[in-house]
Amino acid sequence: MHLHTQNALPLIFPSKEMSDGALAIDNKFDVEFADQIAKLESYNKHLYRPNTYLHKWWARRCGSTFRLILKHLVPDSARRDYYLPGGLEGKIILDPMAGGGTTLHEAIRLGASVIGADIDPIPVLQARATMSSIPLKSIENAFDSFYNSLCERLSGMFLAKCPKCSDVSEIQFTLYGAKRSCSCKSAIFVDSTILRYEQDGSTIEICPFCHEISKNRLCNCRHDDSKTIILEKGIKSCPDCNKTFKEDKSIPFFTRYAPLAIIGKCPDHGLFFKKPSENELEKIRIADMKRPDLNFGSDNDILKIKSGPKSGDLIKRGINSYSDLFSSRQLLYLHHSIELLQDIDPLIRLNLALLVSTSLEFNSMLCGYKGGSKKRPGAVRHTFSHHAYSFPYTALENNMLYPKKSSGTLNNLFNSRIRRGRLWAVQPKERVLGSSKQRTVTINGETDSGTEVYRFDELKKSTQNFFLIQGSSVSIGIGSDCVDYVVTDPPYFDSVQYSDLAAFFRVWLHKLLPDFADWTYDVAGSAVENGNGKEGNYATLLTGILKECHRVLKKDTGRLIFTFHHWNPKGWAALAISLKRAGFYLVNRYVVHSENPVSVHIAKLKSLKHDAILVMAPIEITSAPLWQLPLDIDKTDSKKFSEDCAAVLGWMLKSSLSEDAIKDKWYELLK
């Protein structure tokens, strides 16, 4: 692998550190290689770094990009090759906004000791679970016992008879329709009355009148008026009274849906769709009867929804408790999981509790059905498929204990999130470029795990130690001038409200792991723009975090390196002001591919699919590069746009512009 310098850098008077090559990343970065490998990884990040994907987190960056960043910090040039193990032994890397844990995992693989901090407990718990060395067999044994106990308690709730032979089979999904009413009638709304497109061109459809399910809607019910009519979501008003169909927000959210279809697999007759029988509806009613006795606390307790940028959408729909987002069978699953995990070894309990928590993304009444496609039968549209709360017309209740391979089940998630991750961690693999077929190579001598320490002074006693801090990185609580490099991925201004969305999981993890974290932290401490038109939390808190990074960094060779992109001039202005206040200047910048073009995360950001990698140094290094202000910013190309914005940032950090002038200049350039 060769290290390239990105072309057309608008800077003059390089610093001494840049000219003598002490830090390779100051002068050069293998942009071409980073682009190619990130384009592969961005489509299926969880397949390339399975050990970092135990629990849901948002807007993760490509692990390959961060591996390459860290490789450019390796002192020995002979060990900088992407496919060689190690190189950062003896170094301390800090990520003050750990999030999905990408930096921590990539740095510990290279032999560094790492510090990870985050105000939210979920990133800290996920890092502890995935970086701790635990024998896979121990986790497998505990999971098998846990899963079997759940099945003993709950599997009878998910049984249905095959419509052809009447043999009892496991339910895979139960489909529900959204109940609405106008001034003259009630109706049930679905995304489509077609539940499945078959390979032979036929369809499996539900009759809008009698609710029977058959091929090509071959139904002889003669428009039976005894059933509530089923309508497709495009119909807004009643054709009889002309009034709008409305949702009853006065009743619990889970009761606003009516069960319409059961999907299962018979050993003899394969996949079947059927209208729920009275016996199968009775199982739902039994679960509903048990619901009031489940001990989750009152709605005024942990499960109460607090208003936020995203959770406010729930409150507007009359949803005030997170328990309301789950069917009674799903709540029984949570109730028994909490009971069964109490007496397990703490680290194994942590792994399994995170598994249960992340399974909720595929097991809530916010899940939709996308199993009608010929290409994607049985697929679940998970809770956060749009990085926000969305409310399906056809809601899907998953059978989390379904024994066969199926989307979002506990068994499937254990195999993909824990077993696969642990196997990868002891023998990490990287994708090899230049081959028509997908090929990977094992990085021999490398492991994605380490030893947790509980004081900073223990970090250097050996390699691959990790020190985790839950709390605001405005005050990390370690000494000054002691960290070699800060490598991070800060929240992108107002793009994703991480902490607010994470409450969906956090309230249940609080129940599953009450003593494992500080669950009472203030979400307002998150560095995300609050959207009120003022400076908000972002610049204020980011300034505090960056000042702390400046304090702990070694001033002679220390670097702050992070990725950033945004179309919003307010985001770039807040970043520039925060860096200027904290005392950093831009040494260099490189632009690499970061997102696949259909990513939901960038759908409303005009498809920006590149990150600027920003290499910062403390202002104490006086021989700083001078950046030229681009005459214009190219808004037609994602890569060039990110390049130009980074150059403007570099120029601003060396300028004498006031903070108001910085805001005005960004608005002028990006309006």
Q: Within a 10 A sphere around the Cβ of 656, how many other Cβ atoms?
A: 6
Query: Higher model confidence: residue 308 or residue 585?
Result: 585
Residue 630: which domain range? 11-133+418-494+529-670
Q: Is residue 511 part of a domain?
A: no
Q: Is residue 293 part of a domain?
A: yes
The answer on pLDDT for 532 being more than 70 is: no
pLDDT computed for residue 218 by the predictor: 74
Q: Is residue 36 part of a domain?
A: yes
Rounded to whole angstroms, the Cα distance separating 525 from 506 reads 16
Mean pLDDT within 135-156: 96
Name 159's Cβ contacts closer than 8 Å, sequence gap at least 6: 168, 169, 170, 171, 280, 283
559 and 586 housed in the same domain: yes
Mean pLDDT within 396-415: 94
pLDDT computed for residue 6 by the predictor: 39
192 and 251 housed in the same domain: yes
48 and 125 housed in the same domain: yes
Length of the chain: 671
Mean pLDDT within 247-271: 95
Mean pLDDT within 320-332: 96
Query: Higher model confidence: residue 294 or residue 525?
Result: 294
Task: State the CATH number of the domain containing residue 553.
Answer: 3.40.50.150
Domains in the chain: how many in total?
2
Q: Is residue 281 part of a domain?
A: yes
Q: Is residue 81 part of a domain?
A: yes
pLDDT computed for residue 357 by the predictor: 98
Mean predicted lDDT score pLDDT of the chain: 88
pLDDT computed for residue 201 by the predictor: 84
Closest CA to 283 of 332, 337, 228: 332
HEC profile for 52-82? HCCCCCCCCCCHHHHHHHHHCCCCCHHHCCC
Mean pLDDT within 207-219: 87
When mean pLDDT is compared across 32-36, 532-536, 654-658, 661-665, the lowest value belongs to 532-536
The answer on pLDDT for 18 being more than 50 is: no
Buried-exposed string 377-396: b where 16+ CB fall within 10 A, e elsewhere:
ebbbbbbbbebebebbbbbb
pLDDT computed for residue 221 by the predictor: 80
201 and 73 housed in the same domain: no
The pLDDT > 70 percentage for the chain reads 89
CB 483 within 8 A of CB 618: no
Rounded to whole angstroms, the Cα distance separating 112 from 106 reads 9
Closest CA to 193 of 233, 244, 238, 239: 233
Q: Is residue 518 part of a domain?
A: no
The answer on pLDDT for 196 being more than 70 is: yes
pLDDT computed for residue 291 by the predictor: 95
Query: Higher model confidence: residue 360 or residue 5?
Result: 360
Q: Is residue 516 part of a domain?
A: no
106 and 174 housed in the same domain: no
The answer on pLDDT for 311 being more than 50 is: yes
Query: Higher model confidence: residue 469 or residue 202?
Result: 469
Q: What is the pLDDT of residues 500-515, one digit of tens each?
A: 899 999 999 999 999 9
Q: Which of 541-555, 561-575, 620-634 has the highest mean pLDDT?
A: 541-555
485 and 614 housed in the same domain: yes
The answer on pLDDT for 10 being more than 50 is: no
Mean pLDDT within 369-380: 72
pLDDT computed for residue 11 by the predictor: 38
pLDDT computed for residue 16 by the predictor: 34
Q: Is residue 363 part of a domain?
A: yes
pLDDT computed for residue 526 by the predictor: 58
Mean pLDDT within 395-411: 94
Count CA atoms closer than 13 A to 552's CA, side-chain side: 25
Q: What is the pLDDT of residues 419-473, one digit of tens each?
A: 999 999 999 999 998 766 778 999 999 999 999 999 999 998 999 999 999 999 9
370 and 479 housed in the same domain: no
363 and 474 housed in the same domain: no
